[in-house]
Amino acid sequence: MKVSKRLQAEREFVERSLGDSSICADCNATLSTYGEACTAGLSDQCHGFIAIEQAKKDFRSGAAV
């Protein structure tokens, strides 16, 4: 599946913004370990998810420029 240029740019921005730093104080996940390290339940607020969504929001608001 081909990814649009905008989606690819968003992904790259998120990766640059979050890098290898911890995105969650609860499970100490990084962007690359988030999928496996996250211990939050489905009904719990996940700090890693919030960090990723904030980076996407920053991209959409023009912080990527």
Give the domain ranges of the chain: 5-63
DSSP label of 60 = I
Contact 57, 45 (CB under 8 A): no
pLDDT tens-digit map of 15-54:
999 999 999 988 999 999 998 998 888 898 889 999 999 9
pLDDT of residue 59: 96
How many Å apart are CA 34 and CA 24, to the nearest integer? 9
